[in-house]
């Protein structure tokens, strides 16, 4: 298994490009199952999760061609299997996103039941109840969700008990080809859902209320293929900005968007960062100063994203003062705290709250990555620690950060990948 070795102490300084969004690319890849005719996708990030989704489509018989600029042509016309097997779903829970598109277009889908993961139990009950409200019959058998709708789905009025990103995406994709009108209430409104909805509209879907918590969808007979460019990754953007703030550095990020991470930018300013933005770039400058502690509470968009919580926890470990971090979305998402404490951080856990007393410096140590964003927090911690930090199990980080060590090297960090067996 590959490892990362980091020698801390250098402020990040320089300019890099932000990749396309993983969390928007995954549902858009699932949406290609809805198109009559080829889809051309640009700006997909080169990540393990994206490769897993492409493998899933390929194993269903979908035709996939990748060009020299990483543009991907996907044609679902040759599909001959309607199943997402355990081996793929267990490596990537987002495989569940093929359920809605398969069911609404082909009337059947067998998707392995996604289990829990390091950050919590993560049920999919709302996805299933929404599809049942649209007329699907669903059985769970042999670890598989077996969903059937031989005569197609029909529109429904559905209220989601919990704001769920994946649930909203699955039901939105199911509704675009259902007969009649669907209303999804208490829908998630993350920018990635807006990106998916915009792509569906380009394919010919009729959707009202995009970007709000109430989506109205008028089902159409068929959707056509289109060309679509995936939005920039706001979590990758936020991660590099937070890393720069923690290391007292200055970075300029290109090919990103500032309007989709207001909550994060405001917190970085509260931490003492000077931020300037243009239409497709963001610059952060700490002017050499130590960050100040900030309090954060995660909640659905537009509030502070759970996917940025671990990185802010890492920044708070070396900030001036004491910060409280409250995680409200996932039950076990403060797992990075124990590894950070092994590096000399002063964090106490009280239920879903981490109280972080800033210390002047951390001390490098061997640590273990446990999930995607927790790994990013360990990378940040390694860059503000004295001496060497060795991060094991970095396959978690490769799921969500394209070329992380190359990008950090461009910014001046002392970070190397050690290839393992
Ligand atoms: C997506 C993101 C993930 C992010 C999360 C929250 C992708 C590929 N992943 O995950 O990076 O951290 O949104 O912003 O886009 N829940 C239920 N029943 C359901 C569905 C969800 O109880 O049927 C609960 C979950 O356990 C969790 C909460 O709702 O506590 C939010 O989960 P959800 O928004 O669905 O997360 P994902 O779509 O899995």
Residues 324-379: tens digit of each pLDDT: 999 999 988 888 899 999 999 999 999 999 999 999 999 999 999 888 899 999 99
pLDDT score, position 370 = 86
Residue 18 Cβ < 6 Å to ligand 1: no
Residue 90: count other Cβ atoms within 10 Å of its Cβ. Answer: 14
Nearest to 415 by CA among 396, 77, 394, 167: 394
Handedness of CA 127, 132, 135, 141 (dihedral sign): positive
Residue nearest ligand 1's atom 35 by CA: 164
Residue 53 CB: number of other CB atoms within 10 A? Answer: 27
Ligand 1 atom closest to the Cα of residue 169 is 38
Whole-number pLDDT of residue 1: 83
Q: Is 196 in the pocket of ligand 1 (CB under 6 A)?
A: no
Distance in angstroms (rounded) separating the CA atoms of residues 195 and 18? 17
Element (H, E) at 354: strand 353-357
Distance from residue 414's CA to the centre of ligand 1 (Å): 34
- Relative to the CA of 128, which ligand 1 atom is closest? 23
pLDDT at 331: 85
First to last CA, the chain: 5
The verdict on pTM exceeding 0.95 is yes
User: Residue 418: phi, psi to the nearest 5?
Assistant: -110, 115
Centre of ligand 1 from the C-alpha of residue 23, in Å: 11
Distance, in Å, from the CA atom of 313 to the CA atom of 290, rounded to the nearest integer, reads: 15
- Residue bearing tokens 């550095």: 249
For a pocket test of ligand 1, which of 50, 162, 189 has the largest count of ligand atoms closer than 8 A to its C-beta? 162
Separation of alpha carbons 59 and 239, rounded Å? 33
SS3 192: helix
Query: How much distance in Å is there from the Cα of 37 to the middle of ligand 1?
Result: 30
CA of 300 relative to ligand 1 center, distance in Å? 10
Give me the pLDDT at residue 389, please: 97
Helix %, strand %, coil % of the chain (to 5): 35, 30, 35
**Cβ of 225 less than 6 Å from ligand 1:** no
- Rounded to 10°, the helix 22-31/165-175 angle is 30
Going from the Cα of 56 to the center of ligand 1, the distance in angstroms, rounded, reads 20
pLDDT tens for the 421 residues of the chain, in order: 899 999 999 999 999 999 999 999 999 999 999 999 999 999 999 999 999 999 999 999 999 999 988 899 999 999 999 999 999 988 888 999 999 999 999 999 999 988 656 666 678 999 999 999 999 999 998 889 999 999 999 999 999 999 999 999 999 999 999 999 999 999 999 999 999 999 999 999 999 999 999 999 999 999 999 999 999 999 999 999 999 999 999 999 999 998 999 999 999 999 999 999 999 999 999 999 999 999 999 999 999 999 999 999 999 999 999 999 999 999 888 888 999 999 999 999 999 999 999 999 999 999 998 888 999 999 999 999 999 999 999 988 998 999 999 999 999 999 999 987 6
Looking at residue 121, its pLDDT comes to 65
Query: What is the number of the ligand 1 atom nearest to the C-alpha of 22?
Result: 8
CA of residue 306 to ligand 1 center, whole Å? 10
pLDDT for the residue numbered 58: 97
Q: CA-CA distance, 231 to 255, in Å (whole number)?
A: 9
With a 6 Å cutoff on the Cβ, whether 167 touches ligand 1 is yes
Residue found by looking up tokens 């198109």 in the block? 35
pLDDT at residue 335, as a whole number: 86
Q: Pull the structure tokens for residue 54.
A: 């492409």
Residues forming a β-bridge with 138: 147
pLDDT at 350: 93
The protein residue whose alpha carbon is closest to atom 8 in ligand 1 is 23
Q: What is the Cβ-side half-sphere exposure of residue 56, based on CA atoms within 13 angstroms? A: 35
Rounded CA separation 292/322 (Å): 9
| Active-site annotation holds for 117 | yes
Q: What distance in Å separates the CA atoms of residue 136 and residue 164, rounded to the nearest whole number?
A: 20
362 forms beta bridges with: 385
Q: Which residue in 83, 110, 101, 134 sits closest to 34, CA to CA? A: 101
Predicted pLDDT of residue 116? 56
Q: Is the CB of 165 under 6 A from ligand 1?
A: yes
Active-site option among 117, 199, 226, 403: 117
Q: Which atom of ligand 1 is nearest to the CA of 49?
A: 8
φ, ψ for residue 144, nearest 5 deg: -115, 145
């Amino acid at each position: 298994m590959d490892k990362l070795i980091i020698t801390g102490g250098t402020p990040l300084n320089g300019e890099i490009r932000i990749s396309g969004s993983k969390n928007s690319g995954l549902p858009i890849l699932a949406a290609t199952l809805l198109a009559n005719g080829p889809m051309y996708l640009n700006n997909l990030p080169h990540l393990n999760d994206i490769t897993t989704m492409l493998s899933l489509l390929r194993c269903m018989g979908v035709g996939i061609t990748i060009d020299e600029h990483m543009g991907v042509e996907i044609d679902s016309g040759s599909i001959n299997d309607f199943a997402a097997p355990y081996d793929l779903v267990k490596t990537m829970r987002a495989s569940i996103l093929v359920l809605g598109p398969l069911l609404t277009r082909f009337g059947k889908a067998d998707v392995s039941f996604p289990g829990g993961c390091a950050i919590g139990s993560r049920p999919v009950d709302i996805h299933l109840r929404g599809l049942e409200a649209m007329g699907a019959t669903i059985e769970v058998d042999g670890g598989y969700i077996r969903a059937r709708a031989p005569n197609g789905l029909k529109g429904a009025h559905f209220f989601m008990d919990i704001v769920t990103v994946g649930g909203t995406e699955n039901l939105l994709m199911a509704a675009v080809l259902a007969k009649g009108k669907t209303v999804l209430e208490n829908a998630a409104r993350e920018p990635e859902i807006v990106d998916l909805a915009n792509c569906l509209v380009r394919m010919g879907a009729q959707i009202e209320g995009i970007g709000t918590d109430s989506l109205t969808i008028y089902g159409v007979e068929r959707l056509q293929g289109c060309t679509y460019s995936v939005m920039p990754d706001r979590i990758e953007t936020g991660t590099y900005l937070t890393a720069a703030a923690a290391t007292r550095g200055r970075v300029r990020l290109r090919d990103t968007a500032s309007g989709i991470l207001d909550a994060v930018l405001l917190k970085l300013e509260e931490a003492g960062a000077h931020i300037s933005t243009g239409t497709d770039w963001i610059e952060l400058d700490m002017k050499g100063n130590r960050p100040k502690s900030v309090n954060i509470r995660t909640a659905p968009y537009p509030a502070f994203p759970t996917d940025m919580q671990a990185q802010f926890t890492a920044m708070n470990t070396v900030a001036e003062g004491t910060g409280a971090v409250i995680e409200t979305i996932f039950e076990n998402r403060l797992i990075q705290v124990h590894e950070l404490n092994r590096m000399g951080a002063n964090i106490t856990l009280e239920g879903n709250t981490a109280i972080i007393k800033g210390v002047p410096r951390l001390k490098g140590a061997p640590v273990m990555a446990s999930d995607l964003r927790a790994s990013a927090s360990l990378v940040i911690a390694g860059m503000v620690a004295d001496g060497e930090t060795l991060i094991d199990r970095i396959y978690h980080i490769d799921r969500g950060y394209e070329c992380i060590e190359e990008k950090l090297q461009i910014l001046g960090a002392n970070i190397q990948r050690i290839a393992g067996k």
